[in-house]
Amino acid sequence: MVPESFHFEQVFPTTGLAPAAREALKNTAYFVLHALSRHKLSPYHLEKIEAKGFHRLSAKLLKSICGDQYKVVLDRLKEVGAVEEAPDGYQAGVRSRGFRLSRAMDMSVSIPRELAGQVRTRYQKHLVEQEKANQDSLASLTHLTKWFDSPELTINVEQAHNFIEPGPCQNPSDDCQARRWRPRSRQPSPAVSRSDSATKSAR
């Protein structure tokens, strides 16, 4: 997803560039802008940018996908006022450089832009490797995840749903309260029951 107000030809001078170099530069710009638009698609990234103010971009990841031209793209986007950089900068082992869309760019509607060429190929490879890393991470938690495939773990979906979010009766004649799960109430002890009976008899 890329801000609709971004037009590559208006921002990047490409006179004299070979077609392949021009396409690589355009796809790098799309990749960077997509990375800075994540908060529009993900509540997780929205919460992070609201708390920190900027997206932290990994130089290692950018270089592995876009090559060194990601630096040219970021510099140009800052120069034209499309992107702003965090003032705290890079600190080895602590934080990556932070960037965000300018206010005008952030207010623009995001539209899909399809990646192509080497940027697309490298990004797809990164996604596959990331998925494998996630699966490997889960594999180390088999002492927990084994229960999800075990016949010993069963869930009454209807009761669970009604307990979390009980809905209105579909049929007015239904006894909704009887169908909803409730903690079992404690029964009165026999001594209390006998006392109640004695009281009634005395009356």
Q: Is the pLDDT of residue 17 over 80?
A: yes
Q: Per the domain annotation, does 84 fall within a domain?
A: yes
pLDDT of residue 179: 41
Domain assignment present for 76:
yes
Q: Looking at the domain assignment, is residue 146 inside a domain?
A: no
Per-residue model confidence as pLDDT tens digits over 169-181: 545 444 444 444 3
| 39 within some domain | yes
Which ranges in the chain belong to alpha helices (H)?
A: 8-11, 19-35, 43-52, 59-66, 69-79, 103-107, 117-139, 142-145, 157-164, 176-179, 190-202
Q: Is residue 138 in a domain?
A: no
pLDDT at 44: 77
Tokens of 24: 């690589």
C-alpha distances out from residue 86 to 90, 148, 161, 195, Å? 9, 43, 45, 75
Residue 178 lies in a domain: no
Write out the two tokens for 158. Answer: 């209807």
Q: Decide if 186 is inside a domain.
A: no
| pLDDT-wise least confident of 35-39, 92-96, 153-157 | 153-157
Q: Is residue 20 part of a domain?
A: yes
Residues 112-171: tens digit of each pLDDT: 888 999 999 998 998 898 888 777 666 666 666 666 666 666 777 777 777 766 555 545
| Number of domain units in the chain | 1
What's the domain range around 71?
2-125
